Amino acid sequence: MATTQLETNTKIHPYKMLLWVGFGSIVMMFAGLTSAYIVKKSQANWLEFDLPNLFWFSTLVILVSSFTIQMAVKKAKAGEMAQYRGFLSVTAILGLTFIILQIRGFQALELNNVALTGARSNSAGSFLLVIAGLHLLHLVGGVIAIAVISLKALAAKSSTNQVLSVELAASYWHFVDILWIYLFVFLNWVG
């Protein structure tokens, strides 16, 4: 990390600050979508439906994965390579599980006659697809980042060079987790 040597005037690493400012951006994107959802819901022609239970399971999975990635950070700092690799892999697997559960959730809705796209669709379902789908894309990005870090961890002898990367990945992962909790609450009760 060449830039770690750049002069900064705060204690925060520039990459971490970049990431945090980026969170602001992503929040605005979903704020835009959920506001549009509220506006749309208040107009005629809105289909009411319940979220399939699958989304409860995916919520549980993503919550657990936040815990495992935090453990990975802890182990990376302590230099315990084997456990560090282990927690990283578990997080990646939980991430993949989340992806599958979400897609299953969309399919369950379609089976329940809630069309998400196409001529029969109502924007209530389409909004769910777009909002949850975009969230899913952000999570896919996180899984890819963790996969890359895991590969490097397999090759590396020590974790000292990886603390920054895994910390960044963990912050992002927690962010995507919290974002989903917000969306889940929103889609279930607020919206």
Partner 1 sequence: MSHEAALHNHEGHGHDDHGHHEHHDTFLTKYVFSQDHKMIAKQFLITGMVWAVLGGLMSVLFRLQLGYPDASFPWLESILGKWAKGGQITPEAYYALVTTHGTVLVFFVLTAGLSGTFANFLIPLQIGARDMASPFLNMLSYWFFFIASIVMLSSLFVETGPFSGGWTAYPPLSALHDASPGSKTGMDLWIIAMALFVVSSLLGGLNYITTILNMRTKGMSMTRLPLSIWALFFTAVLGVLSFPVLLSGLILLIFDRNFGTSFYLSDIYVNGVGALSNEGGSAILFQHLFWFLGHPEVYIILLPAMGMVSEIMSVNSRKPIFGYMAMLGSLFAIAILAFLVWAHHMFVTGLNPLLGSVFVLLTLLIAVPSAIKVFNWLTTLWRGNIRFTPAMLFAIGFVSLFISGGLTGIWLGNAALDIYLHDSYFVVAHFHIVMGVASMFGMFAGVYHWFPKMYGRYLNNSLGYIHFWITMAGAYLIFWPMHYQGLAGMPRRYFDFSIWESFKQFAELNRFISTVAMIVFATQILFLINFFYSIFKGRKVTVLNPWESNTLEWTTPINPGHGNWPGEIPEVHRWPYDYGKDGHEFIPQTTPVGEDESGTH
Summarize as ranges the residues that interact with partner 1 (CB under 8 A): 2-3, 5-10, 12, 14-15, 17-18, 21-22, 24-26, 28-33, 36, 39-40, 43-46, 117-119, 121-123, 126-127, 130, 134
Task: Give min distance, CB of 22 to partner 1, in A.
Answer: 5
Task: Give min distance, CB of 139 to partner 1, in A.
Answer: 17
Q: What is the DSSP string of 111-127?
A: HTT--SSSTT--HHHHH
- Closest C-alpha to 159, from 95, 68, 65, 72: 72
DSSP 4: G
* Dist. CA 33–CA 155, nearest whole Å: 41
Closest to partner 1 by CB, 29 vs 154, is: 29
Closest to partner 1 by CB, 70 vs 126, is: 126
Task: Give min distance, CB of 63 to partner 1, in A.
Answer: 25
Closest to partner 1 by CB, 7 vs 48, is: 7
Task: Give min distance, CB of 41 to partner 1, in A.
Answer: 11
Q: Residue by residue, what is the 3-state secondary structure of 141-174?
A: HHHHHHHHHHHHHHHCCCCHHHHHHHHHHHHHHH
Closest to partner 1 by CB, 38 vs 60, is: 38
Q: State the Rg of the chain over Cα.
A: 19
Task: Give min distance, CB of 68 to partner 1, in A.
Answer: 28
Closest to partner 1 by CB, 15 vs 182, is: 15
Residues contacting 84, CB < 8 A, separation 6+: 72, 75, 76, 153, 159, 166
